[in-house]
Structure 1
Amino acid sequence: MRRLAVVLVLLALLLDGFGPVPPASARQAVVTRALALARGIDRPLPTTLWHRVRLTGRHPIILFSHGLGGLPRQFAPLAEGWAEAGYVVAAPAYPHTNGRVRVDRHDIVNQPADAAWVIKAVRALDRAAGDPLAGHLDVDRVVAVGFSAGGTTTLGLFGPGHPAYLRAGVAISGRRPIAYGGPAAPLLFLHGDRDRVVPLRAGLDAYSSAPFPAKQFVTLQGARHGEFLRPGDARYARVSGRILAFLQANVPVAGLRSLYPE
């Protein structure tokens, strides 16, 4: 009976998207923080932050958006990797689509405004006396990354009139937003060719309708809907590496010292 209980606990953890425990070096180098944010009484936006324990210089911001029924903690391995690379990662739990509420997919249309609000709140920490991020945020260089409904949310940020500090975006298994517009920005699209939740053709439509010249579409052969974002999947290293390479090519971290000096 005890053995069965242990198996059930392990299965629950896997289904919850935790994946393997990050290496000790990552846990020691990166701090996780929680911000109690809200865009109005009916739009709570509790936000998880990941950043280096020791901050020097200025660090670009990554806004990460989860999918339907998701939570920021499920993507901790990705976020910790970006934080190790020198980015400050902010991931809100959206009020009507996160894993602790009854999901309302019709609320996705409101999430780009939520994401923009969280970005504004995080940027303000650069001027917040006493905050660990004060004086260390590169507030003029922000990247948006998202998975599934979060990918659609990400693309929705690149609508008409979006701020120039939104420099690049990554949409993973997402759909076309209501509208694109504003300053041109590099966009990376990744999509599995066996995705039955958001079909490949939906991702291709999101890509083809984007008016920005610097865009890339990567088809993940044999991949379904997001299993490649789990560290235990054989494609995780390649996919996470491709995303990080895109981030570093388009929004590099300037003058960053290695976490592991010789």
Structure 2
Amino acid sequence: MRRLGVVLLLVALLLDGFGPARPASARGSVVSRVLQLARGADRPLPTTLWYPSPLTGRHPLILFSHGLGGSPRQFAPLAAGWAEAGYVVAAPAYPRTNARVRVDRRDIVNQPADAAFVIEAVRALDGVSGDVLAGHLDVERVAAIGFSAGGTTTLGLFGPGHPSYLRAGISISGRRPPAGFGGAPAPLLFLHGDRDRVVPIRAGRQAYGMAPTPKQFVTIAGARHGEFLRPGDSRYPRVSGQILAFLAAKVPVG
């Protein structure tokens, strides 16, 4: 299985045309591109990367997971902000829950394995000669963040035997993971609106109650399901600032 994963990664890199980076888009000092990854023929995982440019030194990795019917593009302002702060951000479009497919919520149980695969694939770029990220990834410091079903996916990464390089996690409006927590405790931050009707705050508190310490639960007063993640929302500066402050404390750049 490991050999198959390596083959799929090599095919994905060839499809992406690694070498001197040709940015798909740029926002100030942030560059983005898409890796055509796949965890098997029936699990395509096109993954958008955001990273600062030019790259100097080594940068921690953030794995971001979207919610049901979502896409990485929806969260581009957040991801670009993290990249501006010095992180490399990887956001896969999950095969059965993204905006371009008929959503199958039963597939959420498979997404933590997808997320883990993407983390490994991006970490491997640190050793790919000619790739713009080669020599610039801090492969021993990875954070995971997710919204809604992506928050559930994120928490699913922190199960028994999770790798030591997974240093912190943030669940935004998520539920408890498909399996229990385990392995070495890592700091976890939970953010949830107290008027959320899609994923009620009690579901977020249940996930928080199951999680090992260290952990923190932040209630966003008057908020529903994720509107506070849009730059036009009045709560966006505060929430995005809380996320960045947590990252800076638990998975600092440099």
TM-score normalised per structure 1: 0.86
Letter in 2 for 1:201: R
- Alignment match, 2:8: none
- Alignment match, 2:132: 132
- Alignment match, 2:203: 202
Report the CA distance between 1:184 and its aligned residue: 0.7
- Distance in structure 2 (CA, Å) of the matches to 1:163 and 1:190: 24
- Distance in structure 2 (CA, Å) of the matches to 1:73 and 1:47: 10
Residue 245 of structure 2 corresponds to residue 245 of structure 1: yes
Letter in 1 for 2:199: V
Larger Rg over CA atoms: 1
Deviation sequence 1:35-61 (CA, Å, 0-9, x none): 000000000000000001101110000
Letter in 1 for 2:221: Q
- Distance in structure 2 (CA, Å) of the matches to 1:105 and 1:51: 30
Paired residue total: 228
The alignment partner of 2:60 has SS state of strand
Residue 159 of structure 2 corresponds to residue 159 of structure 1: yes
1:21-36 matched pairs, under 5 angstroms: 27-36=27-36
- Alignment match, 2:216: 216
- For structure 1, list consecutive stretches of 5 or more residues without a partner in the other structure: 1-25, 255-262
Letter in 2 for 1:187: L
- Alignment match, 1:78: 78
- Distance in structure 1 (CA, Å) of the matches to 2:167 and 2:103: 30
Please list every run of at least 4 consecutive aligned residues from structure 1 whose deviation after the TM superposition is greater than 6 angstroms.
none
The alignment partner of 1:169 has SS state of strand
Identity score, percent = 79
- Distance in structure 2 (CA, Å) of the matches to 1:123 and 1:194: 38
- For structure 2, list consecutive stretches of 5 or more residues without a partner in the other structure: 1-25
- Distance in structure 1 (CA, Å) of the matches to 2:139 and 2:203: 32
Deviation sequence 1:227-252 (CA, Å, 0-9, x none): 00000000000000000000000000
- Alignment match, 1:118: 118
- Distance in structure 1 (CA, Å) of the matches to 2:225 and 2:28: 31
Letter in 2 for 1:233: D
Superposition RMSD on alpha carbons, in Å? 0.7
TM-score normalised per structure 2: 0.89
Deviation sequence 1:46-100 (CA, Å, 0-9, x none): 0000001101110000000000000000000000000000000000000000000
1:226-237 matched pairs, under 5 angstroms: 226-237=226-237
